[in-house]
Amino acid sequence: MPPHLDRKQRWLWAAIRIRCALQPDEPRLIPHYLTEADALVRRMRLSPWEAAWRAAELLAGAAADRALPGHWRHLCLDHLHQPLARLACCALTPQQQARLAALRWRVANLDLSPSMQLDGPDSPFA
């Protein structure tokens, strides 16, 4: 990670690494990302709702992406409960509650089909 980035930029860079599974054999990346989100909230760089929403969307999107390695998708799903729990505490307005309900529905109905094989019949390169 480039050393010249500030905390928020490092958090955004970690989000890219998670979403694209750039380091799929580094399971500590997800807890680190969630810890950085908490630090940004404490320093008032992000609202608790925004931090939890971005984290939940990120992890749900990665878990649903069949192009990512299966173990990474499951790791993202394993950590998704944390931002969802934070959202439940932060959902104060009817709009936030509706967004949270839609996200919960999306997570409950995630298609957890096996990841694509680069050399298999469903490969985009076949």
For residue range 60-73, what is the model confidence (pLDDT) as tens digits? 999 999 999 999 99
- Indicate whether 23 belongs to any domain: yes
For residue range 13-63, what is the model confidence (pLDDT) as tens digits? 999 999 999 999 999 999 999 999 999 999 998 999 999 999 999 999 999
- Write down the number of H helices and E strands in the chain: 6, 0
- Indicate whether 88 belongs to any domain: yes
Q: Residue 1: is its pLDDT beyond 60?
A: no
pTM equals 0.88
With cut-offs at 50, 70 and 90, classify the pLDDT of residue 116.
Answer: confident
pLDDT at 4: 72
CA distance 30 to 36: 10
- Indicate whether 1 belongs to any domain: no
pLDDT at 121: 66
- Indicate whether 63 belongs to any domain: yes
- Indicate whether 43 belongs to any domain: yes
Residue located via tokens 């997800």:
30
Domain range enclosing 97: 7-108
Q: For the chain, how many structural domains are there in total?
A: 1
For residue range 78-110, what is the model confidence (pLDDT) as tens digits? 999 999 999 999 999 999 999 999 999 999 999
- Indicate whether 124 belongs to any domain: no
- Indicate whether 116 belongs to any domain: no
User: In sequence order, what DSSP letters do the residues of 41-59 get, joined into one string?
Assistant: HHTTSS-HHHHHHHHHHHH
